Amino acid sequence: MDSEHDGGRDPVPFLVVAATGTLVSVAFVPGYVMALGGTMWLGVAGAGLIAVGFTAFVYRRMGSTRRDVRRELPPETRLRTIVYGVLVACAAMLGLSLLYVLA
């Protein structure tokens, strides 16, 4: 992977993050769509759209960073980001569970 600002990059982190997002969407989206009354093909199409969107998002985020201006973040900022991420993930899982229970 080449960035517009510097030379080549290691593609392994991108592949790991993109593959993880793809596997999670393919594993969970079709089941939830079918549980909510949709067809399997609709679930697979939705999972594919989510996987493509997630992969494009990760590629954009990893391809647009500049290593020459990058600095280390303080631990408080990293911890706050992790906590917010966990809260968003918990809210998403709670919302999906409520959709499943109320359907």
Q: What is the pLDDT of residues 7-34, one digit of tens each?
A: 556 678 888 888 898 898 999 899 888 9
Residues 4 and 54 in one domain: yes
Question: What is the count of structural domains for the chain?
Answer: 2
Q: Which domain holds residue 99?
A: 72-103
My answer on whether 80 and 102 are in the same domain is: yes
Of 89, 92, 91, 102, nearest to 35 by C-alpha is: 102
To the nearest 10 degrees (0 to 180), the angle between helices 12-35 and 40-63 is 150
- Which residues, in sequence order, are bridge partners of residue 2? 8
Q: How confident is the model at residue 68 (pLDDT cuts 50, 70, 90)?
A: low
Q: ∠ at Cα 81 (79, 84), nearest 5°? A: 110
Q: Is this prediction's pTM over 0.85?
A: no
CA–CA separation, 29 and 23 (whole Å): 10
Mean pLDDT computed over 79-95: 91
Same domain, residue pair 61 and 90: no
- 49 and 66 together in one domain: yes
Q: Are residues 3 and 49 in the same domain?
A: yes
> Are residues 87 and 44 part of one domain?
no
